[in-house]
Amino acid sequence: MCSAVLGVKVYFDHVNAKGGINGKRIKHIIKDDAYVVAETVRLTKEVIDKDRVVALIGFAGTGNVGELLKQNVLADAKIALVAPYTGGEPLRNPFNPNIFHIRAGYADEAEEMVKQLDRQGLKRIAVMYQDDPFGKSGLAGVEAALKKRDLPLISSAGYEKNTDNVTDAVKILAGALPQAVIMISVNKSTGAFIRQFRDAAPGVQLFNI
């Protein structure tokens, strides 16, 4: 169970131990979509139609949630998705009344990272990103933050979703001689990239969404 899901469970258990909401206990249903878009859609429809849930919480993935919006799953069911684990701008703009965000968007995160690097005098910035809507959303945020400061993106390299095959990305980015790399990536691929990149280009600052 991931930490975000565990955190929700702990709090719901706390609420239930206190008597629930107006005397009614919260039933927390957990489904694992394995970060696969089609499974996100299938399982969401399943919990809406079969389990009759009153709200959804903690979904992960820009592309995953984006597909729910594309297929009007939330709007058709008139159901709220609370605290999606994504900062993708396409899920925030235009405003969607079915989604309640509690975290910063990737554009906001990218702006603060680039601002910090610029203050340090580090101008040669590259991006390693997951090649899907999540990664591309973060990449766009970095590009916008750099453009705001008249700085170029010296290099970018993607890797395939649901893999830690980052060897090509390491070679491309190390060859560009960056002072810093911003990683738009998930845990496993981030760890693999850091291990390989530290050997290929020691001393480069690494940031992550």
**Which of these CATH numbers, 1.20.1070.10, 3.40.47.10, 3.40.720.10, 3.40.50.2300, describes 106-208?**
3.40.50.2300
What is the spatial distance between Cα 209 and Cα 190, in angstroms, rounded to a whole number?
A: 10
| Amino acid identity, position 209 | I
Helix (H) and strand (E) counts in the chain: 8, 7
Tally Cβ neighbours within 10 Å of residue 55: 10
Q: Could you state, in order of their start, the residue ranges of all structural domains in the chain?
A: 31-100, 106-208
Taking only the tens place, the pLDDT of each residue in 151-177 is 999 999 999 999 999 999 999 999 999
Nearest to 30 by CA among 17, 46, 19: 46
Q: 142 with 109: CB under 8 angstroms?
A: no
Cα(33)–Cα(17) distance, rounded to whole angstroms? 29
- The whole-model pTM stands at 0.78
Stretch 100-126: mean pLDDT, rounded? 95
Average pLDDT of the chain is 95
